[in-house]
Structure formats: C-alpha cells, structure tokens
Structure 1
Amino acid sequence: MKIALIGYGEVGRILAEDLKGHELVAFDLKLGDERGNALREHAAGIGVRLGTSHVDAVRGAELVVSAVTASQAVAVAEACAAGLAPAAFFLDFNSASPGAKTRAAQTVNAAGGRYVEGAVMTSVPPYRIKVPLLLGGPQAAALEPVLAGLGFAPKVASETLGVASATKMCRSVMIKGLEAMVIESFTAARHYGVEDAVIASLKETFPGIDWEKQAAYFFQRVIEHGRRRSEEVREVAETVREAGLEPWSAAGTAERQAWVADLADAGLFGAKGTRDFARSPDWRTEADRILTHLKKAD
C-alpha cells in the first residue's frame, strides 16, 4: 500500500517504523532547514522516500496521514488537496477543534479525497501504532478495516464529523490542564519547601496515583513537547469556545505549556531527549532550574 506521511516528527517517525514494508513517502517543513538532517537520516534508515512538497508526497497515495502541529491541520489539508488521488483516504491525526476538522474535510472532499478525522486518545509512544484511535465522519467506517489491517487500533466514534475530535479535545482540557497544574503547583511548593507535604496530601486524596512518578512524567512531556502541546491546547480552547464557553482553564494551560517550551528552547533543561524520567524520576531538579531562572530574572 502506498502511504503518505505528512509531518515527520515524533508521531510520523513512529508510524513509519511500524508501517515498514509498505511504500512510504513523507514530507515535513523541517526538511527545508538544519533540523531536517535527523529526519533525512531516519528516513534513509528505514526506506522512506522524502517528498519535495506536500503535493509530491501525496501523489498516488491510497492513504494520507496528516500528523503535524495542531495549528497547521487546515493548512496541510489545503496544501495536499491538489495532489490527492481520487478516493484516497485522508486521515487527519491532528488535535484540532471540530470546526477546524470540518474546514479541512471540506477541502479534502472537494478535491476528490475521502476525509476521516482521527482522535488519538492518549500519548503515542507507549502504544505506537496501536494507540487508541477514534475515527469520525461519513468515511470512517470504510477506513476502519483498512487501518486495522495496517496494525492500527481504530474505533469508529461517529459518522458525524466533529464527534471524535470533540471527545479528544474535551479530554485534553483535563489531561493537558493537569500537566500545567502539576508543574505550577509542585514548582511553587518546591519554592516554599512544602512539596513533601503537598504530595502526601495528594496521595491521601487520590491514593491510586503515584504523584512522584506522575510529576516526573508530566515535567518530561511538557519540557520535551510543550510547544506542540501548547498549540494543541489552543485548539482545545477553540473547541470550548465553539461550545459557547469562555475557555479560561484551557487558555491558561496553553500559556503555561508555551512558557515551559520557551524555557526548554532556551536550553534551561539541557538537551532535549536526554532525560530518562521513567528510570530516574527527577522533577525536583527541573523545578529547581525553573526557580533559579526566575530568581535571576528578578
């Protein structure tokens, strides 16, 4: 099967590895600058052809998987439309609002493709291609067996476009919000020297959660992927706004995620991808780095 992967970041590379044996073509805007060196090396190592453009990558593909940053979901659909083969499936893996998914679908369907929204319901790396995936839209039922045959774990949420993404985005109000709250709460607690008391209290209230391990994981994920997560939560905020609510919580979460991403880009936490929180939880070190930075800023 010829499959085009639009977006060759963490998710795109995982999918490429798990789809080896198929004819794979990928495109990523980062290929145009120095960041593309690692992508080119990875693609060469597993036999993925790199396209020269969105249109080049999707031309002749039976399945297109769009896995880019949330803010680019509609733009990517527009950029790919001219190259789509008749009746090609376009799986939108992106964390975008129901409104954005609807706009992307209109573009793809008008070009003769078959748009299906995909809502990834948890972090991809632990599950890889088997990550729980909700499908939505009129073509979802037709794509489900195709994806299952490729090794995905799809489930049709609704033939109505927007239901799958709304499920994902409303969940993210909680999940991404909890990440931001833990970073804010635990860093402040570290400043006051009360982190052990705070964690003990949380364990008493939520005994099923290992707060030390969870905090380490949250710090790690936001430090490594805060930029992408902040863009996703801005789409979450738009989802809430589309429902008629003012997204106070989601908007604050997006700001906190972006703030940590700015610090990570400035090198505050060291080189990305070098910390192994699963083996050695160390959220305190990262909190101390933040507090030291804040003191210097004063």
Structure 2
Amino acid sequence: MRPHVAFLGLGEAGYAIASDLSAYAHVTGFDPAWTGRPAGFTAMGGPAEAVAGADLVIGLTAAADAPAALASVLGHTAPDAVYLDLATASPELKRELAATAAAHGLSFAEGVLMAPVLRLGMRTPILMSGPGVVRAARLLTACGMDVTPLGGRVGEAAARKLLRSIVVKGLTALMVESLRVAEAQGLGRWCHDHLVETLTELDGDVIRRLLDGTVRHSVRRVAEMEAAAEMAESSGEMPLMTRATAEVLRSVPGRGIPAPARHHEWRGHLRRRRRRGRGRLHADARRHLEGAYFLAGDLPADPARRDDLLLRLMGSPDTAQLDGIGGGHPLTSKVAVVSRSPEPRADVDYLFLQVHVAEALVSAGQTCGNILAGVAPFAIERGLVPAEGDETRVRIRILNGDGVATAYVDTRGGRVRYAGGTYISGVPFPAAPVTLCFEGTEGATCGSLLPTGSVRDEIAGVAATCVDNGMPVVVVAAGALGATGYESPTELEADAALTARVEEIRLRAGALMGLGDVRTTTVPKVALVAAPRDGGTISARTFIPHRVHTSIGVLGAVSVATAVLLDGSVAAEAAGRTAPGGPLRIEHPTGYFDALIEVSGTGAGLRVRRSGVVRTARKLFDGVVWPRRP
C-alpha cells in the first residue's frame, strides 16, 4: 500500500515536490492561494480535508505562515501521523512549532531544502531533525527522496540552512555592492570577470589563507575596507556591506577566528605518487579511509619489488605502522596504482592493492570502491585525462575484476574542484560529489552474481546469501549469530566467539564461491544484516574480513544492496520496504550509504544492468614520502 503524503503549501517548491512524489505515494495538498491544475496529486478544498488519513504532513510555506499552517491541521491528523515543517525559518521558530505539535500529541520533524527545488524536484537534498525524524525519513527515503537525518534535536537542520545562507546570500550582497561601485567607476566588466576568477579558485587552501591572513593583518584590512567605503560613497553608492565588513574585521584582534579542523579531525584518502625516485603525496578527506595513489610508471614493474616498496612506504609489518604512512588499520593501509588504459572502453586503469598491517603481505584479490572515488581526480591532476567543461567524465577499468566504472568530477574552471555541498555519512563537512556508475561488476571476482548458484545456502549451519556485484560478500542475518546487527565495530570485534563463528562461515563460503582457501585473502567479506531502524532499507555490519568496517565499502554496499533485490535472500528477509527504482539505503555504524541498482529478472535469474553511488573526495596535501631502507 502506497503511503499518503499531504502538502500544506503548493507554491513553486511544494508543487514541484508534490508532483514528483505522486509517482511513489498518494499525495494530497492544500493552498489557499492555489489556482493551478494538479499534476499527479489531488488538491483539496481545505487543510483538514487534505491531511485526513495522511501518514506524513509536509508544511512548505513561508516562515511567517508556518505557525498558521500547523494550527490549521491540529486535531485533524491521523494518530500516528508526522508533521514535517520545511519552511526556511530560525531554529527558535522551529522549536516553537515543535512545542505546539507536542502539546497536541502530534509527532514533529523539521527539515530544510539544500538545493534549488525547481531544478531537482523531489530529488532536492533535505536535512532533517526532530523527534519524528526517523519515521519521516523512512517514508520519504522509501519513495526515493534524498534525506539526511541529523538526529532528534529540533533546530539543527534550520541552523545548518541559515549558516549556509549567511555565506551564500551574504556573498551575493557583497557581489551586488561591488558591481554597483564598479559600474560607477567604469570597471563593471573587469569586476565581473575578477569575481568569476576569484570564486572559481576557492578551495580549502584559499579559505585557510584568507582566514589566517585576516588574523595577521586585520588592522591593515580594516583600513583597506574603509578606503573602499569612501570610494563607494564618492560614486554615489551606499557601502552597507563594505562598512559591515570593516566592523567584522575590526573585531578580529579581540575575538579571533574559530580554529579550523585540528589534525586529528582529518578524514581521508591519502593519495600518493612517485616521481624521480621519491613519493609525492595527495590526500582526499574521508573519515574512515586512507590510501596512497601512485602512477604505475613510478613504481617498479616487477610485482615482488613493487610490493616490497609499498610495505616499506606504508610501515608494514607493524600493527601501528609507525615507520610509514599507513594508519595501523586495514582502512588506512590502501594503495591505488593508476595508468592510462590501452583499452578503448576506458581512459585509465586502476589496480587496488591492500597492504596488510601486521603481515608483510600485499593483496590484489579485491578492489576498493572508496579508493576508486579518488582515481578520477588523481588522473585529471596527473594529466592522464584532460579536464573538459564543468564536469569531466573518466572511464576507469578496474583491473582487480575487469569491470568498468565511470566517474563524473567537478572541473569548473578547468581543474578539479574539491569544495562542494555533498554530505557523506561519517564526514562532518561537505565536499564536491564524485558520481560513480558501474557496469560489468556482476561476478567481477567470482565469475557470476550468485557464485554458489543459489540465492540461499546453508553454511556452517547458518542461512547465507553469497553475492558478487563488484565485491564477494556473504550476507548473514545478525540474529542467527546472536547479534543484533546494530552493534559498534568495537563491540563486534571484542566478541571472540562471534568473530570465530564469522571466520568459520567465511572460510566455508570462500570454497563454495570458487575462491578456494581464503585464509590469507581479504575476500569474501561477511555482512551481518538486520532490519533498518533509522529509515533506511537494511542495516549492515561488515567484517573486512577480520576487522569491522567503521561504515561500509562502496562495492560491498553495492553487493549488499543487490542481495536485497534477490527474492528469497537473507538480505531481502531483513530489508524494509523498497521503492521501485529508488535508492537502497544501507545503515552502517556511522550513518548510511545510498546505492542505485538497475536490474532485470528476479531470484536466481536476476541480472544487474548497472549501479551507481555518490561519494566525495578532497585533496589534503602534496608532498614527499621516503620509504625505510630495505
């Protein structure tokens, strides 16, 4: 049965989202000023009629109208309905609305739209918080909407939206003022072009230099802004933003500037290459992964010599990897080797190497989708692929399995852009998105999507689904092993009986999947799954294979999501409701992961056409690394 969603407010944003959402839900709406024709939804004559029986009521009005919109439906909603207010308003107003709803027994959530609705419709990213966030997020994500739950504190979503508005709208006001003054000075075209050049160069390094420079030179910069204000006034313009800027800068010596992220807060891939016998370092910010990126031509061609060098660079074998650039964990001891591809179907080749931490071992038995997210930016910056237009497509052949991934990278201004507004679970700050589309990953390692030939097997006395859509994964119900599926990685790793049982299943599954003796390999992975509890499709905890992933790997997530679509699989039994064609949201220890899987057929006859995910990557540094002597 399709959910019922009611809209209060059918302006441009409400109309666009209601129209799109009507393909996945029964949608009703009311707007006192409504005179148009509904597109897929039903416009009602009053608010009480619109919300009758609705599972979710969405208030999408101006902030001034939000209290009246909520008041108009109090006492008319279903007992278990959630009221979601999407007005752009202050955290204080959101808390007042929440208190009003609570006083009438109505579950409340607040959300904000983080991109232009007219361009994206129901795909517009939404940040959401409040006591009703789990139920509201579960319903909307099941319909394919892009929702990021922030927790139960009312006002958190609104605060993030308004902080973004200070930057974006404040910057816009500064641009308007500077262009007006420039026009009066006969420098309008120059000022416009200079704005474009300056803004396209903005990245983390530039912002840090601006902030650091302001601390050191605040007095000089105040004088500079006062001179600019005098020029504006002599041109007949009111320098409101310029004067305000001078006042903010004047406060810096006394109040300082909030410190940027400390070193221990860095998230990231470390991307490295070698040149002239020395290693060059790059970094992409990702909380749970680090990986070194090399050009293939800068590494020894002989695999044995190459692996020996990588062990010495990363600091293995050593549980802490103190004498190298590894982080003492499988997630922080990864390497990408990149080169131009000789094949017409790809631009570059990507070989992933897992450098073991405590053993002198380098494995190429699997690929890594998270490290894959940094391959295209690395290839563009190393000249393997030219930047083309605002978005550059890079076709990547995955040598570990011979599949092909296509990455789309922001290259506005002719270079890789790392700053952006895309949030990834586990990463506190946004970055530019890297969209990854996969083809040919079905059976990439084992030769078939269902390596055992069955949707469901009994392995070591436990029901399991073995699947390979880019990563061989054994899916097991957490409850079958005495776990809940919601534990932290630390809790799971501390359970010796559980880890031994997982390894027993993995070793037997490896043989059944055609992988042979997997005692010294990193595949297959084992995913313990359970029903979702935060609005997603399924919850998963992944052994990789002996440590537990702090989130979930990209291709591991794609394989688990594919298992959800297999009728009769262990994953399908645990999964919540899924919307046809919509994203599958996998809940993991630090948030969630969305994957889109396009398939045909059902059960054992299911075939994967393509799959896609969105990740982020950010460069941290470019430097030199010295391996320890042999």
**1:156 counterpart (144, 149, 158):** 149
* 1:76 alignment counterpart: 69
Q: Tell me the distance in 1 between the aligned counterparts of 2:116 and 2:42.
A: 26
* 1:263 alignment counterpart: none
**Is 1:57 equivalent to 2:59 in the alignment?**
no
**Is 1:170 equivalent to 2:173 in the alignment?**
no
* 1:129 alignment counterpart: 122
Does the Cα contact within 8 Å between 2:54 and 2:77 map onto a contact in 1?
yes
RMSD: 2.2
Q: Tell me the distance in 2 between the aligned counterparts of 1:153 and 1:207.
A: 27
Q: Tell me the distance in 2 between the aligned counterparts of 1:204 and 1:169.
A: 26
* 1:144 alignment counterpart: 137
One-letter identity of the residue aligned with 2:107: R
The CA deviation at 1:135 is 1.0
DSSP-derived class of the 1:155 partner: strand
Residues paired across the two proteins, number: 202
**1:66 counterpart (59, 63, 78):** 59
Does the Cα contact within 8 Å between 1:66 and 1:92 map onto a contact in 2?
yes
The CA deviation at 1:52 is 1.9
Q: TM-score, normalised by structure 2?
A: 0.31
Q: 1:187 to 1:29 in 2, by over 3 A?
A: farther
Within 5 Å, give how 1:1-298 maps onto structure 2. 1-21=3-23, 22-31=25-34, 36=35, 39=36, 41=37, 43=38, 46-208=39-201
* 1:226 alignment counterpart: none
Does the Cα contact within 8 Å between 1:55 and 1:79 map onto a contact in 2?
yes
The CA deviation at 1:131 is 1.4
One-letter identity of the residue aligned with 1:26: G
One-letter identity of the residue aligned with 1:160: R
Does the Cα contact within 8 Å between 2:82 and 2:135 map onto a contact in 1?
no
DSSP-derived class of the 1:170 partner: helix
Q: Tell me the distance in 1 between the aligned counterparts of 2:65 and 2:169.
A: 19
The CA deviation at 1:74 is 1.8
One-letter identity of the residue aligned with 2:79: P
Per-residue CA deviations over 1:170-227 (Å, capped at 9, x if unaligned) read: 1111112223333333244334431122123334433347xxxxxxxxxxxxxxxxxx
**Equivalent pairs: percent with the same residue?**
30
DSSP-derived class of the 1:81 partner: coil
One-letter identity of the residue aligned with 1:140: V
One-letter identity of the residue aligned with 1:167: R
Q: 1:148 to 1:197 in 2, by over 3 A?
A: same
Q: 1:200 to 1:48 in 2, by over 3 A?
A: closer
Does the Cα contact within 8 Å between 1:11 and 1:124 map onto a contact in 2?
yes
Does the Cα contact within 8 Å between 2:6 and 2:58 map onto a contact in 1?
yes
Decide which structure has the larger Cα Rg and report it: 2
**Higher-strand-fraction structure:** 2
DSSP-derived class of the 1:135 partner: strand
DSSP-derived class of the 1:26 partner: strand
Per-residue CA deviations over 1:241-268 (Å, capped at 9, x if unaligned) read: xxxxxxx97xx9xxxxxxxxxxxxxxxx
**Higher-helix-fraction structure:** 1
Q: Tell me the distance in 2 between the aligned counterparts of 1:3 and 1:204.
A: 45
* 2:419 alignment counterpart: none
Does the Cα contact within 8 Å between 1:84 and 1:111 map onto a contact in 2?
no
The CA deviation at 1:57 is 1.3
The CA deviation at 1:60 is 1.4
One-letter identity of the residue aligned with 1:17: S
The CA deviation at 1:165 is 0.9
Q: State the structure with bigger RCO (CA 8 A, min sep 6), 1 or 2.
A: 1
The CA deviation at 1:167 is 0.8
Q: Tell me the distance in 2 between the aligned counterparts of 1:196 and 1:66.
A: 43
Q: 1:193 to 1:80 in 2, by over 3 A?
A: farther
Per-residue CA deviations over 1:97-141 (Å, capped at 9, x if unaligned) read: 111111111222332321111121222222221211111012212
The CA deviation at 1:2 is 1.6
Does the Cα contact within 8 Å between 1:132 and 1:153 map onto a contact in 2?
yes
Does the Cα contact within 8 Å between 2:67 and 2:97 map onto a contact in 1?
yes
Q: TM-score, normalised by structure 1?
A: 0.62
One-letter identity of the residue aligned with 1:127: L
Q: Tell me the distance in 1 between the aligned counterparts of 2:31 and 2:174.
A: 32
User: Please, which runs of 5 or more residues in structure 1 have no aligned partner?
Assistant: 210-247, 253-298
Q: Tell me the distance in 1 between the aligned counterparts of 2:197 and 2:115.
A: 26
